[in-house]
């Protein structure tokens, strides 16, 4: 395994994102929607850095099976309970890879007529951003190809507990 971000670098990234979110949302009381399971650590740190009135909800999707290969089939497992009609919604993702999950979630939530819908992701794949630089509104860091784990992000349900962020090496 190769470490790509130390916990200190992660913290700096979260602080930078939180400052932008605070500046943009001011007193709008946004609803931050964490995409489970991967985003739970990031969201927990993010809301405390944002440190202004907001609401939190979660939805659960599953696109990966036990290993590293995406099934390409995004399964919607659990929905939010908040009525987001007229609300400012910020989707919070751990890592955006192909963008497929994000696309599906966006389309699903936009039907409920939120006042606004934006995306905050701790990480996004460089290859995706090359083709779609605006895929994520609030982006922490871009990452090269390679399976990422740690800071809530798993591989087959392992490694979520790691404070740093790592890339699994082949083999
Ligand atoms: P998508 O390809 O953008 O749809 O990514 C699907 C989901 O897979 C994301 O919500 C992530 O939680 C997860 N994912 C994508 N890339 C990685 C990775 O490198 N490690 C662990 N999870 C990942
Ligand atoms: Mg995710």
DSSP string, 6-67: -HHHHHHHHHHHHHHHHHHHTTS--EEEEEETTTHHHHHHHHHHH-SS-EEEEEEEEEE-SS
Q: pTM for this one?
A: 0.95
Are 147 and 68 in contact, with CB atoms under 8 Å apart? yes
Ligand 2 centroid to Cα of residue 104, in Å, is 12
Q: Burial, 100: exposed, middle or buried (Cβ in 10 Å; 0-12, 13-18, 19+)?
A: middle
167 in contact with ligand 1, CB cutoff 6 A: no
Say whether pLDDT at 171 is over 70: no
Phi then psi for residue 19, to 5 deg, are -65, -40
63 in contact with ligand 1, CB cutoff 6 A: yes
Give me the helices (H) in 51-149, please. Answer: 100-110, 126-131
Task: Give the pLDDT confidence score for residue 67 in this predicted structure.
Answer: 66
Say whether pLDDT at 134 is over 90: yes
**Ligand 1 pocket mutation, candidates 70, 103, 145, 169, criterion most atoms within 8 A of CB:** 70
Q: What is the DSSP letter of 153?
A: B
State how far the Cα of 83 lies from the Cα of 67, in Å rounded to an integer: 34
pLDDT tens string 36-94? 999 999 999 999 999 999 999 999 998 766 667 666 778 889 999 999 999 999 999 99
Long-range contacts of the stretch 138-143 (C-beta < 8 A, 24+): 138/17, 138/20, 138/21, 138/90, 140/13, 140/14, 140/16, 140/17, 141/5, 141/13, 143/4, 143/95, 143/167
Out of 27, 97, 132, 154, the active site residue is 97
Whether 97 sits among the annotated catalytic residues: the reply is: yes
Token digits for 68?
């590293």
């Amino acid at each position: 395994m190769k470490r790509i971000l130390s916990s200190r670098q992660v913290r700096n990234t979260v602080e930078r994102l939180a400052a932008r979110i605070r500046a943009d949302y001011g007193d709008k009381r946004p609803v931050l929607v964490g995409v489970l399971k991967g985003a739970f650590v990031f969201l927990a740190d993010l809301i405390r850095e944002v440190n202004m009135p907001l609401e939190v909800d979660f939805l659960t999707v599953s696109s990966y099976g036990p290993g590293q290969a995406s099934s390409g089939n995004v399964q919607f497992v659990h929905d939010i309970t908040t009525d987001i009609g007229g609300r400012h919604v910020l989707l919070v993702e751990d890592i955006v890879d192909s963008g497929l999950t994000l696309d599906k979630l966006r389309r699903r939530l936009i039907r409920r007529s939120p006042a606004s819908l934006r995306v905050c992701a701790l990480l996004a794949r460089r290859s995706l951003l090359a083709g779609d630089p605006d895929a994520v509104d609030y982006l922490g860091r871009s990452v090269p190809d390679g399976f990422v784990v740690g800071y809530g992000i798993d591989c087959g349900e392992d490694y979520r507990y790691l404070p740093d962020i790592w890339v699994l090496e082949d083999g």
